[in-house]
Amino acid sequence: MPGVEYSRQVLRTSAGPVVLHILIAPKPGGLYAVKPVLSNNRVTGRERVSSMQRRLSRGATLAGVNADLFNWSTGHPSGIYLRGNVLASRPQPTRSSLGVGADGMLHVGLVGFWGYYKIDGRAAHPLAEFNRPLTRPGIALYTSLYGTRAPYRPRAREAIIRRLPAIRPGVAVRAHISASVRGGGHVIPPGGAILQARGANWKRTLAYDARPGRALTMQVSLKTWWDGVPSGVGGGPALVKDGVVILNSGESFDSTQLAPRNPRTAVGQLADGRILFLVADGRSSNSVGLTNHQLANQMVRLGAVTAMALDSGGSSTLAVDGNVLNRPSDGSERAVGDALMVFYYGVWARKPRLAVFSPNGDGVADVQRLFAKFVRPTQAHIELVRPDGVVRWQFTESVSPKTITKDLSSRTLMEGGWRWVVTGIDSQGLPSRIERSFTINNTLGHLNLSKTIMHPDPKRGGRLLITFRVAHQATVSVSIRRKNGSLVRVLVSSKSLSPGRYTATWNAKNRSGGVVRNGTYFVRVGATNALGPVTLTKSVLVHRAAA
């Protein structure tokens, strides 16, 4: 992603190695934005970070991390979720919230919540909860961002609102009661809401006030929120302020959450405004993880002047364009409540599927497909440039958001290094450019094995014929390897070969002269010349004959 840097570092500590995954993105503005992403676009439920990126890929190219802690059963975030000044989840007042300003600056602090509803001609009543299940007597508001239904509470009372303007902090909204019903868990109308009451007194209040057809006013407010900050996400604790580690944030986390070495995730901002994401792998011999204090120290070491921790443990994930770059400690990526992402709106071209491409007709790496993605209306220009600098193919056109593909498969394509250059000026007048490269190398091809299953004698071995073609003078090697890449036997060692057809033989024995065990083995043929290295691989199954 242009302007976005990724690096992987390994720290050596007395407790063992710690693997850090570091992503640094430009200061938000222009072609870049930092925004929270809600799982499945609603408060309830969970979704993987990589899935969120793929879901949104038509509108931007994304990179980012898991965000807030969440409820394991319902998936709702523990703290605030605010995007475009629309509130989906209220803040947790005893844990830090992160605000992303319209000017690209990050803010970290404790944020409170207050809300009310008022039926015309009646007294105002406080909202005990907003888009989160009620755990005590009171009245809660559930908007359509919460999910398809209000929380199931058989003894609750609900007032259904068919149409409700988006809930924006500090802005009063008007609506009408459509129905008053017993029980909880009714369907939330799309674009509407439900008021739910628990406790005898509050149920009577809602039943008396919320008669069908009556108008009401509602408003929620954020205490100590920042002006000009349209987006925010929960998490915590705060890690760094003014470039100094916060030793004790005083937030509602206990020592079991902060003291152990665990996978950790954090977000911060550098002095020049760039955004820093950090994920530390943990809970394995490859990476033992960090304590919360060590996480803060690493953020300062990397230059953060402001930083906040996000959810940790198995949730810790760093993904780019739908690909996970770290090693989640669960063994696979965990579905989470929300994420924090860098959105890139410029032209995008993924890396070519084949770094080395050989359209020689052998059925292996014969077709290269190139992509160019435009997420805004753009004056686009694409060039496919040959190794001699001549433009082989070009495209110039005004495009709406779309992806353009180009397939290459001709045997007459010039060998050497090719370039795929994508440029554009979008509807806001912002230019962007990305370049990808690949190599056409027909030096090696037509690898064939005389059989796919060998039944060697346990003592004498067997016979496998390996044939291949060399198109240009090259240094060639032939080896047998296991799936993990470990070497079993070298058949041809760095031999200079002229163009022609060649055969090597493997007798199913290893370097020590013994017949190999049962399993899958890989024949690897490699060639190197002025065009660069190229490798072909095919597998053979060994199943020894009975002794």
pLDDT (0 to 100) of residue 345: 98
CB atoms within 10 A of CB 176: 14
Note whether 156 and 196 are within 8 A (CB): yes
Give the span between the Cα atoms of 47 and 319, in whole angstroms.
13
Cα 29 vs. chain centroid, distance in angstroms? 21
Token pair 């039944």 in the structure block, residue: 455
> Distance between terminal CA atoms of the chain?
57
For the chain, domains (ranges, CATH) are 5-108+227-344 (no CATH), 112-223 (no CATH), 356-440 (2.60.40.2550), 444-542 (2.60.40.4070)
Non-local CB neighbours of 508 within 8 Å, separated by 6+ positions: 454, 456, 461, 462, 463, 464, 515, 516, 542
User: Tens of pLDDT along the chain (547 residues)?
Assistant: 899 999 999 999 999 999 999 999 999 999 999 999 999 999 999 999 999 999 999 999 999 999 999 999 999 999 999 999 999 999 999 999 999 999 999 999 999 999 999 999 999 999 999 999 999 999 999 999 999 999 999 999 999 999 999 999 999 999 999 999 999 999 999 999 999 999 999 999 999 999 999 999 999 999 999 999 999 999 999 999 999 999 999 999 999 999 999 999 999 999 999 999 999 999 999 999 999 999 999 999 999 999 999 999 999 999 999 999 999 999 999 999 999 999 999 999 999 999 999 999 999 999 999 999 999 999 999 999 999 999 999 999 999 999 999 999 999 999 999 999 999 999 999 999 999 999 999 999 999 999 999 999 999 999 999 999 999 999 999 999 999 999 999 999 999 999 999 999 999 999 999 999 999 999 999 999 999 999 999 999 999 987 6
Which residues, other chains included, contact 14 with Cβ-Cβ below 8 Å and sequence gap of 6+? none
- What pLDDT does residue 1 have? 87
Looking at residue 547, its pLDDT comes to 65
Q: How far is CA 430 from the centre of its chain?
A: 25
Measured distance CA(105)–CA(267) in Å, rounded = 12
CA neighbor of 310 nearest in space, from 271, 350, 277, 287: 277
pLDDT of residue 400: 92
| 3 state SS of 503 | strand
User: β-strand 453-454 against 532-542: which pairing, if any?
Assistant: parallel
Across the beta sheet with 464-470, the strand order is 444-449, 464-470, 500-506
Asked if residues 506 and 464 have their Cβ atoms less than 8 Å apart, the reply is yes
Return left, alpha or beta for 30; rule: phi > 0 is left, psi -120 to 50 is alpha, else beta. left
Phi, psi of 39 (to 5 degrees): -60, 130
Number of H helices, E strands in the chain: 4, 41
> Please, which residues bridge with residue 392 across strands?
none
Compute the C-alpha angle 369/343/244, nearest 5°: 130
Residue 348 and residue 434 in contact, taking contact as beta carbons nearer than 8 Å: yes
Count CB atoms within 10 A of the CB of residue 487.
Answer: 12
Judge contact between 443 and 534, C-beta under 8 A: yes
Phi-psi region of 224 (alpha: psi -120 to 50; beta: other; left: phi over 0): left
Closest-CA residue to 295 (of 279, 274, 316, 273):
279
Q: What are phi and psi of 520, to 5 degrees?
A: -95, 130
Report the distance separating Cα 237 and Cα 310, nearest Å: 8
- Strands 264-270 and 5-13 come out as unpaired
- Cα 63-66-69 angle, rounded to 5 deg: 160
Q: Phi first, then psi: give them for residue 45, nearest 5 degrees.
A: 95, 170
Task: Give Cα 439 distance to the centre of its chain.
Answer: 29
CA dihedral (496, 357, 410, 374) in degrees, to 10, reads: -160
pLDDT at 545: 85
Q: How far is Cα 465 from Cα 540, in angstroms, rounded to an integer?
A: 11
pTM (2 d.p.): 0.91
Other C-beta atoms closer than 10 Å to the C-beta of 510 total 14
Alpha carbons 343 and 62: distance in angstroms, whole number: 5
